[in-house]
Structure 1
Amino acid sequence: MSSLLVLGGTSWVGGQIARDAIARGHDVTCLARGESGDAPDGATFVPADRAAPRAYDEVSDRHWDLVIDLSRQPGQVRSAIQALGSTATHWTLISTGSVYADQSGPLTEDSRLLDPLDGDVAGPEQYGEGKVACEQAVRQLHRHLIVRAGLIGGPGDRSDRFGYYAARFALAGDEPVLVPAVADQPMQVVDVRDLSRWIAASAEGGATGTVHGVGEPTTVGALVALSAEVAGFTGDQLVASESWLREHGVEEWMGPRSLPLWLPSSHHGMGMMDDARALAYGLERRPLVDTISATLDDERARGLDRERKAGLSRSDELALIEELRDQAP
């Protein structure tokens, strides 16, 4: 049994990693503020604010076989390495595809990166630069693994992004649904359960280097069509151009009043992240339909008509559909 410390472990991805590590027989400790949820059953929870000067006091007096860090804040990663790096055998950082300087086309692990953030705290608009600085800090360590995750989907997604279309199709039934005219846009979605299991196994096996954690290549159109099929949708899909959506204040990708997964061409590379190294590292991925089905079950349990963190409200969507139809020739 290995001692495994998850720096996080109470949020969506961190919690799933901790659960998988427990299932694999590891002695798991989760250090986090705990504001995102509870540590999984079977894990030891250490409450701590990683921005505080003595955040690691309760875990720095022992050797850790494995450390897995999910932070996006360079200062937190640096302080964790300073406190624990000399005694930890293996360190894994969960990074992101947003680290790349040019995200318009295909991406490999050797593609050019953004300049690292010069500072300890990254704001939302500095997410990629902050993660580059986190990676830079982790590379000081002798045995480290950096996993650059792409879009993550599956049950429990707190961003409300991936499940939007399946949930909306299920809610609409035979009534119309608005979709962006980006059917050919490249897209990759990795199931959180597959990603987390692979991360836990890779850390356990001592894997090192930098690797993408991504789903199989597909398109937004194929994902939307599969979501409609899983939801049993029998209505019409009203397709709106990107320019029309922008003119009407609809946002891209995620967040309030958005159409999720739609990206400008400058970011299509987020759906073209090379997966060859991940497959060589042992990543196994379930069919996308299984991820969508499990996500829809979770969406139903949480309420199809709830206020969402990503997407359009149903009333707003219907108003936009009416306006789009009125403008049709």
Structure 2
Amino acid sequence: MTDVLVLGGTGWLSGRIAEKWADAGASVTCLARGGRDAPYGTTLVVGDRDEPEAYAAVTGREWDEVVDISSTPSHVAAAVAALGERAKHWTYISTVSVYAANDEAGAGESAELLAPAGPDEDEDYGRAKVRAEASVRGALGHRAAIVRPGLIVGPGDPTDRFGYWVGRFGLAGDGDVLVPDLDARGTQVIDVDDLSGFVQAIGRERWTGVANAVGDPTDLDDVLRLAREVAGHTGALVTATDTWLEQHDVAYWSGPRSLPLWLPREMTGFWTRSNAVYRLLGGRLRPLRDTLERTFRDEQARGLDRPRRAGLARADELALVREVAAA
């Protein structure tokens, strides 16, 4: 039986990865702080990675596969030091945010990276991941896979970004929805279940190397059109220019008071990265409609009018719509 250690395993993505391994018949151990259940069929070992003895309970055995998703470089370095010699293969989940530039369409895994974060710069997500990658490559280069996902989407997404649109169209019904200028805008998403399946597959095969785990570039206009169809929205789309939105304190991409997935035009490279390696390795990219339908059911279950981590509150949106109409 394959022995798998997932560092985490109780969160959104790490939990899906643990489930995929368990479904494949592996013996899966999840090392996490506790407070949340590990997936069915796995074993939870409680350990706080901020503590020096965090890995003591899992260093007494050999592991066929270790999966780490942490964005805290010190956690990654400590895990490699404690477990590296006991792992036949290691998969580190990084991010496309490690790349230094976002203006080159079709860039692949060899594109220049950001400078690694310093010891006190863990809050810089992309640079922290660069430093964490360096720890993995430095100690386990010949036994490690580094996976760089783009925007991960699907049911249960804790960031509330992708689900904002299909959820908002469902909430609006026949009402107006505020959208950015969609000309020359796009996005590149990967379904959480496609990504977790890919991570399990390359771990099973002990593949080594670096792979961008991203979907095909898709016009944002097409994403919103499909989201409207799935949600049954019949109202109008009210378009605001970049300048107008910026003047009214509406943010790009994510977070409170934002229009999720909207990016500055000069960031074309961010949503057009190469996924050739991912496809060559057999990575799945399910139809976008399938992901939207599953996401919409999840949004309905969680509440279309709930407070969100990303997007506009409906009342704020309608106030902005009225201002656009009056301008």
Q: TM-score per shorter chain, which class?
A: over 0.9
SS in 2 for 1:45: strand
Structure 1 residue 317: deviation in Å?
Answer: 0.3
In structure 2, what is the Cα distance between the partners aligned to 1:29 and 1:325?
56
Q: What residue in structure 1 maps to residue 90 of structure 2?
A: 91
Aligned pairs, number: 324
SS in 2 for 1:165: helix
RMSD: 1.1
Q: What residue in structure 2 maps to residue 129 of structure 1?
A: 127
Deviates more, 1:39-48 or 1:113-122: 113-122
Deviates more, 1:74-83 or 1:216-225: 216-225
Q: What residue in structure 1 maps to residue 23 of structure 2?
A: 23
In structure 2, what is the Cα distance between the partners aligned to 1:184 and 1:265?
7
Deviations 1:1-29 (A, max 9, x none): 21000111111100000111100111001
Q: What residue in structure 2 maps to residue 253 of structure 1?
A: 253
In structure 2, what is the Cα distance between the partners aligned to 1:25 and 1:311?
40
Please tell me whether the aligned partners of residues 92 and 147 of structure 1 are also in contact (alpha carbons under 8 angstroms). Answer: yes
- Listed as ranges, the matches of 1:226-245 within 5 Å are 226-245=226-245
Deviates more, 1:180-189 or 1:20-29: 180-189
SS in 2 for 1:139: helix
Normalising by structure 1, we get a TM-score of 0.96
Q: Which amino acid aligns with 1:18?
A: A
Structure 1 residue 186: deviation in Å?
Answer: 2.7
Q: What residue in structure 2 maps to residue 74 of structure 1?
A: 73
Structure 1 residue 268: deviation in Å?
Answer: 2.8
Q: What residue in structure 2 maps to residue 288 of structure 1?
A: 288
* Unmatched segments (≥5 aa) in structure 1: none
Structure 1 residue 266: deviation in Å?
Answer: 4.3
Q: What residue in structure 2 maps to residue 138 of structure 1?
A: 136
Q: What residue in structure 2 maps to residue 194 of structure 1?
A: 194
Q: What residue in structure 2 maps to residue 276 of structure 1?
A: 276
Q: Which amino acid aligns with 1:50?
A: R
Q: Which amino acid aligns with 2:315?
A: S
After TM superposition, which residue ranges in structure 1, 4 or more long, deviate above 3 angstroms? none
Deviates more, 1:211-220 or 1:291-300: 211-220
Please tell me whether the aligned partners of residues 183 and 222 of structure 1 are also in contact (alpha carbons under 8 angstroms). Answer: no
In structure 2, what is the Cα distance between the partners aligned to 1:114 and 1:266?
18
In structure 1, what is the Cα distance between the partners aligned to 2:243 and 2:269?
21
Normalising by structure 2, we get a TM-score of 0.97
Q: Which amino acid aligns with 2:220?
A: V
Q: Which amino acid aligns with 2:61?
A: R
Structure 1 residue 120: deviation in Å?
Answer: 6.3
Deviations 1:244-270 (A, max 9, x none): 111001111111111000112343322
Q: What residue in structure 1 maps to residue 41 of structure 2?
A: 42
SS in 2 for 1:92: strand
Deviations 1:24-50 (A, max 9, x none): 111001111135x32101111111111
In structure 1, what is the Cα distance between the partners aligned to 2:255 and 2:46?
29
In structure 2, what is the Cα distance between the partners aligned to 1:252 and 1:8?
30
Q: Percent identity?
A: 49
Cα 1:256–1:10 shift into 2, 3 Å: same
Please tell me whether the aligned partners of residues 12 and 156 of structure 1 are also in contact (alpha carbons under 8 angstroms). Answer: yes
In structure 2, what is the Cα distance between the partners aligned to 1:44 and 1:297?
29
SS in 2 for 1:46: strand
Deviations 1:60-102 (A, max 9, x none): 1110110000000110000000000011000000000000011
Please tell me whether the aligned partners of residues 216 and 272 of structure 2 are also in contact (alpha carbons under 8 angstroms). Answer: no
SS in 1 for 2:188: strand
Q: What residue in structure 2 maps to residue 100 of structure 1?
A: 99
SS in 1 for 2:284: coil
